[in-house]
């Protein structure tokens, strides 16, 4: 590595933090970074909390087979987005992130700075700069690979949290957000295509899919709206539509039938890209994760919040079917071989 590239092992912790903090933007906490802990407002009297991690070479690669290099901004964005999505899926509004960075000493400081910018960029973009949420604290340490963990809090604004267990037979199943795009992007990144060429026509759709994989746009404002509209169950689709629908089915003790026409239409949107890669777009739609769209059930006759589309029904029984037929795809498991 050229000697003019600044790496984290050349800086002490204080110097590195001084490069990170300005990129996080103004704190929204009552007491922000700099003490043993931060203090955030919890006006509801309850706090929603979750934690999620991105690991180098498991959740992202710095250099993909396609030649694509993952910048720090992308990893920061993705980490924030998937954490905010977990709060969204409870029907709550995100209020803070605390972030722990484990970094090899050889990590470029500029990459870490970009990661901080990506964290802040996702919060600002996905929450429309409401000034309610920011990175309020963190931790830095050394390791052999990059690990980025964020814990996220949220406020329920007086509403009940929307769990996975409240779906009832007869409820409407509805969805909002991207579906299969992130999985398509992953397939592009892992393919033998030369990424430097896929940004141009006729392959521009492939680049769009890569953007979905790298910088997901979960519909953060729609979780609270679904809760207010009476959603009986909700989760974010992070491990694949069939698998995550199955979680609602299991927790609620119901069956879920996905509308075959809806699934087919979503797959058709991805078909040109899938054909280019020799993949089946149905696999992406039914089994792909990481888009972080919202899957929710509503009582029959409920007015769906704008953005949600009816795409199935809740019925007696158990498990997930597509047009009454068991699907072939299950989705993502971190450990299954």
Which residues contribute to the annotated binding site?
Answer: 36, 50, 52, 59, 86, 138-139, 164, 236, 238-239, 290, 332
Residue 337 CB, shortest distance to a second copy, in Å, is 6
What are the Cα distances from residue 86, in Å, to 10, 91, 153?
A: 36, 9, 9
CB of 194 to a second copy, least distance (A): 28
Contact 166, 232 (CB under 8 A): yes
- Binding residue positions for Mg(2+): 36, 50, 52, 86, 139, 236, 239
Q: Among 66, 154, 155, 83, which Cα is nearest to 118's?
A: 83
241-300: contacts with a second copy (CB under 8 A) = 251
Among 137, 177, 185, 331, binds a second copy (CB under 8 A): 137
Residue 128 to residue 79: CA distance in whole angstroms:
17
What is the four-CA torsion angle of 113, 116, 117, 123, rounded to 10 degrees? 180
Instruction: Select from 239, 21, 27, 35 the least CA-distant residue to 123.
Output: 27
Q: Is 320 in the site for a second copy (CB under 8 A)?
A: no
Q: Which is nearer to a second copy, 166 or 281 (CB)?
A: 166
Among 72-80, 279-287, 313-321, 329-337, the segment contacting a second copy (CB under 8 A): 329-337
Q: Tokens 């404002």: give the residue.
A: 221
The residue count for binding a second copy (CB under 8 A) is: 75
Mark the segment that binds a second copy (CB under 8 A) among 13-21, 60-68, 191-199, 214-222.
13-21
The answer to whether residue 149 forms part of the interface with a second copy (CB under 8 A) is yes
Contact between 330 and a second copy per CB under 8 A: no
Of 70 and 274, which CB lies nearer to a second copy in the complex structure? 70
Task: Identify which of residues 177 and 281 has a Cβ nearer to a second copy in the complex.
Answer: 177
CA angle 98, 101, 107 (to 5 degrees): 150
| Per CB under 8 A, 70 contacts a second copy | no
Q: Which is nearer to a second copy, 236 or 290 (CB)?
A: 236
What phi and psi values does residue 124 have, to the nearest 5 degrees?
Answer: -65, -45
Q: Which of residues 17-56 bind a second copy (CB under 8 A)?
A: 30-31, 34-53, 55-56
Give residue for tokens 């609620």.
252
Give every CB contact of residue 209 below 8 A, 6+ residues apart in sequence.
181, 182, 184, 185, 187, 188, 270, 273
Within 85-124, the residues that bind a second copy by CB under 8 A are: 85-87, 89-90, 92, 96, 98-100, 102, 105
């Amino acid at each position: 590595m050229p000697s003019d590239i600044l790496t984290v092992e050349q800086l002490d912790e204080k110097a590195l933090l001084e490069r990170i903090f300005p990129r996080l933007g103004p704190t929204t906490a009552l007491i922000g970074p700099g003490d043993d802990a931060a203090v955030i407002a919890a006006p509801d009297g309850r706090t929603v909390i979750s934690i999620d991690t991105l690991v180098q070479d498991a959740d992202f690669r710095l250099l993909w087979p396609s030649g694509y290099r993952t910048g720090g901004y992308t990893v920061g964005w993705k980490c924030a987005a998937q954490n905010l999505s977990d709060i969204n899926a409870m029907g709550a509004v995100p209020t803070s992130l605390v972030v722990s960075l484990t970094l090899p000493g050889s990590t470029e400081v500029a990459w870490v700075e970009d990661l901080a910018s990506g964290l802040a960029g996702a919060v600002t973009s996905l929450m429309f700069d409401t000034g309610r949420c920011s990175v309020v604290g963190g931790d830095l340490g050394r390791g052999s690979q990059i690990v980025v963990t964020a814990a996220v809090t949220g406020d329920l604004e007086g509403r009940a949290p929307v769990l996975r267990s409240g779906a009832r037979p007869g409820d409407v199943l509805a969805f909002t957000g991207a579906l299969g795009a992130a999985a398509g992007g992953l397939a592009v990144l892992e393919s033998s295509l030369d990424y430097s060429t896929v940004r141009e026509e006729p392959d521009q759709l492939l680049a769009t899919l890569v953007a979905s994989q790298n910088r997901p746009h979960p519909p953060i404002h729609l979780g609270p709206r679904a809760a207010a509209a009476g959603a009986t169950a909700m989760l974010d689709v992070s491990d694949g539509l069939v698998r995550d629908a199955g979680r609602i089915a299991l927790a609620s003790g119901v069956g879920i039938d996905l509308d075959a026409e809806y699934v087919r239409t979503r797959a058709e949107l991805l078909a040109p890209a899938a054909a280019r890669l020799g993949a089946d777009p149905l696999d992406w739609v039914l089994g792909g994760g990481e888009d972080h769209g919202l899957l929710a059930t509503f009582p029959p006759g409920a007015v769906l919040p704008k953005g949600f589309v009816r795409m199935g029904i809740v019925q007696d029984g158990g498990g997930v079917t597509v047009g009454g037929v068991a699907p072939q795809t299950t989705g993502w498991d971190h450990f299954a071989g």
